[in-house]
Amino acid sequence: MSAVIQEKLKSTDINPFIGSHVHLSKDDLLGGEHASDLRQLLEERGVLVFPEIHFSDEEQVLFTKTLGELAPERAGELLYKVTLDTKANAQADYLKGSMYWHLDGTMNEVPILASILSAKVLSPTGGNTEFCNTYAAWEQLPDEDKQMLEELRVEHSAWNSLFYYDPEPSLAKAREMMAIGERVLPLVWKHRSGRKSLVIGCTAHHVEGMGSRESAELLIRLREWATQPQFSYSHKWSVGDTVIWDNTGTMHRATPYDPASGRMMLRTKLQGEEPFA
Ligand code: OGA
Ligand code: MN
């Protein structure tokens, strides 16, 4: 990252391969004049943390729109409640999958570019959000692995992630998730920028053309590789923090927390700008 951009954004690195704190004021962020530098820093660092910036709902929407096109969760719903409390979010059960390493939107042709998450209510225990840099994880692989992996394709599905949090689902539940379908994605995403990142996580069911054991071993090995400490960052939230992650070059997960804790995060999303390729 250029020292000039770091200075303009008052940013400091968190870990060598992932994460930067950005210390700009709320007015500086909402003004939009730093948007293209922030986008560049996001691509390079994977995760940007704005400590205790305390955006209101309107400010979070405004800030999101300075960075790109806001992708509503559903028509008219700009902010989405990320909580396991089914009283606050009727689809809270689906969010149980967020406790396992994943990308957002592997079921979409064009996955979202980035998510912007703000902490409103914390859980007294657990509830960190953890990230790993899948660009860096790819780049640091030995060349022989890169050659072997480069052209592989992996079937992903939401129903595969169901088994992580509900190992013996009812047939009705399984069918509900199966209705979302499956998608075959490249294991290695070749971005327009020329960079490459790994596409894995809890929606990955199997590697095409491989036996079940060989496929499982490979997916587990790559998860272990990508989530090593040097590629990872665990964010311990304070109320008012906002964090953005580059959903095209990172994976993330929540660490376990009590669904009754009241933990409440508000999320906005940026429309994806390139399909998996
Ligand atoms: C998400 C997500 C993790 C968390 O919002 O997509 O996975 O810590 N959230 O709540
Ligand atoms: Mn997620």
- Res 3: pLDDT: 87
Q: How far is the CA of 254 from the centre of ligand 1 (A)?
A: 6
Q: Of 65, 40, 93, 63, whose CA–CA distance to 243 is shortest?
A: 63
**pLDDT score of 155:** 98
The stretch 96-124 carries a mean pLDDT of 96
Is the confidence at residue 16, as pLDDT, over 70?
A: yes
Confidence of residue 198 (pLDDT cuts 50, 70, 90): very high
* Ligand of minimum distance to the alpha carbon of 259: 1
Q: Ligand 1 atom 2: the closest Cα is on which residue?
A: 98
pTM, two decimals, is 0.96
CB atoms within 10 A of CB 100: 16
CA of 105 to the centre of ligand 1 (A): 12
Q: In angstroms, rounded to a whole number, what is the distance separating the alpha carbons of residues 14 and 22?
A: 10
Among 64, 106, 121, 129, say which to mutate for ligand 1: greatest number of ligand atoms within 8 Å of CB.
129
Q: Torsions phi, psi of 175, nearest 5?
A: -65, -35
CA of 98 to the centre of ligand 2 (A): 5
**Predicted confidence (pLDDT) per residue in 40-61, tens digit:** 999 999 999 999 999 999 999 9
For the Cβ of 248 lying below 6 angstroms from any atom of ligand 1, the answer is no
The whole-number pLDDT of residue 89 equals 86
pLDDT of residue 177: 96
Q: What is the Å distance from ligand 2's center to 3 Cα?
A: 31
Q: Is the pLDDT of residue 2 over 80?
A: no
For the chain, give the percent of residues with pLDDT over 70.
Answer: 100
Ligand 1 pocket check for 265: Cβ under 6 Å: yes
Say how many CA atoms lie within 13 Å of 106 toward its Cβ: 32
Residue 7, token pair as written in the block = 């200075």
Find out whether the beta carbon of 252 lies less than 6 Å from any atom of ligand 1. Answer: yes
The two beta strands, 129-133 and 232-235, are antiparallel
Task: Report how far residue 229's alpha carbon sits from residue 207's, in angstroms, rounded to the nearest whole number.
Answer: 25
Provide the pLDDT for residue 1: 63
Cα 141 to Cα 188: distance, rounded to the nearest angstrom: 12
Mutate to test the pocket of ligand 1, among 98, 121, 131 (most ligand atoms within 8 A of CB): 98
Is the pLDDT assigned to residue 140 strictly greater than 80?
yes
